[in-house]
Amino acid sequence: MKAFWDECYKNEEFAYGTEPNQFFKFQLKKVPEGSKILFPADGEGRNSVYAATQNMNSVAFDISTSGREKAYKLAKTYNVNIDYQVGSFDEIKFEDKSFDGIVFSYTHFPKGVKDSFFQKMMSKLKTNGWIIFECFSVKNIPLREQNPKIGGPLEEELLYTIDELEKLIGKEAKIWEELTELNEGLYHVGKGCVIRAIKGLPNDQ
C-alpha cells in the first residue's frame, strides 16, 4: 500500500490538486482560528496546508513519504508550517482527546480496517470536538465505471453508506449523500457521488 501511494505522489503534479477539498474549505469557515486539527491520511497536504494558511494548527499523517515531501513543498510555497508524520494510523501516536477537530478527506479502507481506523481517530478528538467528512459513497461505483477520471475505489467495502458512517462517527452527526462535480487534480474529475458529514459544527451547508 505504501509503495502504491509513494509511486502515485512521486510526480511533479499533485494527484488531487493543490487546492483544498471545496466542502472542507466551506466548512472550515465555521472553525475558530488556532484550532488544533488532525488530518488523517493527508496525502500531499492540500487540506492541512490550506488550514495552516487560515491560521489553524495543522497536524497530519500518512503512510506515504513522498506525500509528506509534497505537503512540505506546498506548505513552503504558502510560507506556513504543518506537522506531518509518516506512518500507518495503527502505529501513529497522538494523545487521546487532544484535537479540536478531525478532517476525513477520501479516507478509504477495507471493512475491518475502517472500524479500527475510526475507533482510533475518534479517541483523539476532544469531548465536543468537531468532524468534517467527505468520501465516496457506494453509489459512486457506476459513475466510476462510466468515467474512470472521477476516481475512487471500485470495491464496495472501501466505500461508505450513510448508515455505516453514522455507526462510525455517531448519530449526532449530520450525514448526507450528494451528487457533486469534482475537479480535484488528476484523479477526481467529473460527476461523483459522495457522503458528506459534519459533527459539532453549525448545520448550514
Ligand X SMILES: C[S@@+](CC[C@H](N)C(=O)[O-])C[C@H]1O[C@@H](n2cnc3c(N)ncnc32)[C@H](O)[C@@H]1O
Does residue 38 interact with ligand X by CB under 6 A? no
Rounded to the nearest 10 degrees, what angle do helices 65-78 and 46-53 cross at? 30
Least distance from ligand X to the Cβ atom of residue 60, Å: 9
What is the three-class DSSP state of 56? coil
Does residue 192 interact with ligand X by CB under 6 A? no
Q: Which of 37, 63, 74, 182 binds ligand X (CB under 6 A)?
A: 63
Name, in order, each residue with C-beta under 8 angstroms of 21's C-beta and a sequence gap of 6 or more.
Answer: 46, 47, 105, 106, 134, 184
Q: Look up residue 170 and give its amino acid.
A: G
Q: Which of 84, 89, 118, 130 binds ligand X (CB under 6 A)?
A: 89
Pick the closer one to ligand X by CB: 7 or 202: 7
Least distance from ligand X to the Cβ atom of residue 3, Å: 10
Name, in order, each residue with C-beta under 8 angstroms of 86's C-beta and a sequence gap of 6 or more.
Answer: 61, 62, 63, 64, 65, 67, 68
Rounded Cα gap, residues 171 and 194, in angstroms: 19
Q: Choose one: 62-70, 120-128, 164-172, 194-202; the region binding ligand X (CB under 6 A).
A: 62-70
Q: Choose one: 42-50, 123-131, 140-148, 170-178; the region binding ligand X (CB under 6 A).
A: 42-50
> Which residues pair with residue 40 across a beta bridge?
61
Least distance from ligand X to the Cβ atom of residue 43, Å: 3
Pick the closer one to ligand X by CB: 46 or 196: 46
What residues between 97 and 126 interact with ligand X by CB under 6 A?
Answer: 105-106
Pick the closer one to ligand X by CB: 67 or 129: 67
Does residue 1 interact with ligand X by CB under 6 A? yes
Q: How many other CB atoms sit within 10 Å of the CB of residue 191?
A: 13
Rounded Cα gap, residues 139 and 112, in angstroms: 20
